[in-house]
Structure 1
Amino acid sequence: MARRVLIVDDEPGIRTVLAAYLEADGFEVVQADTGAEALRRVLDAAEAIELVLLDVGLPDLNGIEVLTTIRAKSSVYVILVTARAEEVDKLVGLSVGADDYVTKPFSPREVVARVNTVLRRARQEPPSAEPAELVLRFDGLSIDPQRREVLVAATPVELSALDFDLLWALANSPGRVYSRAQLLEKVWGYDFYGDDRVVDVHIRSLRAALGDDATRPGIIGTVRGVGYKFLPRTQEA
């Protein structure tokens, strides 16, 4: 059964082109040109929407308002589309819960690749082992991939699917320095088309969610000119 993607954009030409590329890749596509219509379709269980391509600049509700409402009621995957590259920093900083970001103008092939990457991440299953053995525990921090749950000082922290995967990738090798390119390959996938600035943006989002001060980090360290590393040591058994 084809996976269903909702394209939300007030420009018919953009919807038509994206729909053609997604359908050629095996997706079923539905469309909306307003935020209100997008919410109706996403929140209708019968629509069975798996991923939303959501333009930020809609004529009625803006994309942030739409996504905020979606996140309060649904865990559907959302890729935000914005007309300004510099706006990505602002969007991620709002922690509105998008799973990825695309900036206009874009290649339709890039968008299809992003959709596939987000949905492939969603399909990944944890390694086959006892759940207790999978949980990573550090001083004041635990990461459970089975439940996709992060606790800071025993308090649950909400992370987007992508931010969780980024934290998991770093935490599996404490002290190891990952370049941005390595993190793009490991977390976003080989077919990621964006530039490596998106890694910096998500690191900032992750630090904010974890309460980690970038000027005096205790969880994610920056190695200038190279990339990032996970700082805490695993708790002794």
Structure 2
Amino acid sequence: MIRIGNLTVFPDRREIFVDGAPVELSYRAMDVLLILIEANGALVTKDELMDRVWPTTIVEDNNLYVHICTIRKVMDEHRKLLVCAPGRGYRLLRPIQPTRAASTFVARTDSKQAVQ
């Protein structure tokens, strides 16, 4: 299970949920999303996406763009996490969850219990 904003993606089952409700994505759009998730925030070139999603078919760039738009629509307010690097490719940012600060243990010496 992978959480991206309000999306929950189950890659092994090819299922996606938005705020807990199931959402249908086309087979190709799901492929694009899974490739971007697999890249873990790294840039995926348009050529790599095209080669992996349409390995035996020649398609225009606009086919990829249509699926990117579909993914962004599903992401709704989190659509800015799917970033375009013009002329290069796409990157799916994963929001950094704030981590809790480590507890600091401060040893206190009580003058009455001090060991001499």
TM-score, normalization by structure 1: 0.37
- The 3 A distance-change label for structure 1 pair 210 and 159 is same
SS of residue in 2 equivalent to 1:229 = strand
Point out the structure with max Rg over C-alpha. Answer: 2
Q: Residue 6 of structure 2 contacts residue 75 of structure 2 at CA under 8 Å; is this kept in 1?
A: no
8 Å CA contact 1:157, 1:210 repeated in 2: no
Equivalent residue pairs, number: 98
Tell me the SS of whatever aligns to 2:80. Answer: coil
- Counterpart of 1:231 (choices 72, 93, 100) is 93
Q: Is the 8 A contact 2:32 2:49 kept in 1?
A: yes
Which one of 114, 138, 141 corresponds to residue 7 of structure 2?
Answer: 141
Match of 1:219 in 2: 81
Q: 1:225 to 1:192 in 2, by over 3 A?
A: same
From 55, 69, 92, the counterpart of 1:204: 69
TM-score (norm 2): 0.70
One-letter amino acid matched to 1:210 = M
Q: Describe the superposition over 1:119-142 as per-residue Cα deviations: whole angstroms up to 9, x where unpaired.
A: xxxxxxxxxxxxxxxx22334322
Contact kept in structure 1, 2:18 and 2:74, CA below 8 Å? no
Distance 2:75 2:63 in 1: 18
Q: Percent identity?
A: 30
Unaligned runs of 5+ in 1: 1-134
**1:212 deviation in Å?**
5.0
CA RMSD of aligned residues (A): 2.3
Change (3 A) 1:235 1:156: farther
SS at 1:205 equivalent? helix
Q: Extract unaligned runs of 5+ from structure 2.
A: 99-116
Query: How far apart, CA to CA, are the structure 1 residues paired with 2:5 and 2:59?
Result: 34
